[in-house]
Structure 1
């Protein structure tokens, strides 16, 4: 098994191309290596401001759009049985990947922010993706020290994949 990205696009304002997905897969691998996470799956969904506004309101009680949301699936127990499925033909069994969680990115918000910060949309989406991944692992930015730690980790990954300002 390995660290995997499963993605979907539920917005139509901006094209999500293969090169962006390849870049995000690379960022996922680098962030995973840095954090010692080598197995699992991250689900990424691209949405618009209206969709993320609804999710932010319904799940966080904040009635406005945001740029990225993360929903961690880290409530598993060590004693849980491994989930397996049977491949066609019935002879081989494989373990399903451990789902780390979901990351939802508002592409329209990312586009606006990329213009405000003067860098590419790819860089902004990469930043939001790595930010969301770190949230899945339990990182937060409620105070200056934790924010500085998170920002340092994000920037290190982005530099490794060529997403500099």
Structure 2
């Protein structure tokens, strides 16, 4: 498993963010029964930088808490079986790891939302990573039933990892 973490924000989180990210990425993939070793890239940045990324990729000129950039198109969420048919597109040529995609997190939003929702920054960061990992596995929340599925899965992943409110 390769989890590349870049911390580009000026503001520092006073929590073991690398350990939290790695644990939640691994827990998410175990929960979704991913049969492959995977590669995930995580960028921790500030509100201004995530606002620029959000504007460029989503035409939304506002900071957000987390952005997900999946590398894989799934027929159904977490349906990994068909991926070997497109091995050249989905797997790293040298490591053989499944290239899941990129996660961008705003450190400012981690702090703001932890305070807003009355839980720790650890729990908020874990939540954002779990949420984004589900996107990298093909889930979405545009429809009500999709939102309910994602929320249930997020809570189960967080609970399994000990990240409760």
Do they superpose with TM above 0.5?
A: yes
CA–CA separation in structure 2 for the residues paired with 1:12 and 1:39: 32
Task: Indicate conservation of the 8 Å contact 2:111/2:121, yes or no.
Answer: yes
Report the equivalent of 1:32: 29
CA–CA separation in structure 1 for the residues paired with 2:27 and 2:122: 16
Report the equivalent of 2:50: 52
Task: Indicate conservation of the 8 Å contact 1:71/1:136, yes or no.
Answer: yes
Runs of 4 or more consecutive aligned structure 1 residues displaced over 6 Å after TM superposition: none
Q: 1:145–1:12: structure 2 CA closer, same or farther, 3 Å change rule?
A: same
User: If you compute each CA radius of gyration, which structure gives the higher value, 1 or 2?
Assistant: 1
Q: Under a length normalisation based on structure 2, what TM-score does the superposition of the two structures give?
A: 0.84
Q: Under a length normalisation based on structure 1, what TM-score does the superposition of the two structures give?
A: 0.84
Higher relative contact order (CA 8 A, sep 6+): 2
CA–CA separation in structure 1 for the residues paired with 2:45 and 2:13: 12
Q: 1:133–1:16: structure 2 CA closer, same or farther, 3 Å change rule?
A: farther
Report the equivalent of 1:78: 85
Q: CA deviation at 1:137?
A: 1.1
- Residue 29 of structure 1 aligns to a residue whose secondary structure is helix
RMSD: 1.9
Q: CA deviation at 1:36?
A: 1.4
Task: Indicate conservation of the 8 Å contact 1:23/1:161, yes or no.
Answer: no
CA–CA separation in structure 1 for the residues paired with 2:128 and 2:56: 21
Report the equivalent of 1:161: 161
Report the equivalent of 2:152: 152
- Residue 78 of structure 1 aligns to a residue whose secondary structure is helix
CA–CA separation in structure 2 for the residues paired with 1:144 and 1:79: 31
Q: 1:79–1:103: structure 2 CA closer, same or farther, 3 Å change rule?
A: closer
CA–CA separation in structure 1 for the residues paired with 2:152 and 2:11: 31
Unaligned ranges ≥5, structure 2: 74-82
Higher-helix-fraction structure: 2
Between Structure 1 and Structure 2, how many residues are aligned?
153
Task: Indicate conservation of the 8 Å contact 2:92/2:99, yes or no.
Answer: no
Task: Indicate conservation of the 8 Å contact 1:4/1:40, yes or no.
Answer: yes
Unaligned ranges ≥5, structure 1: 86-94
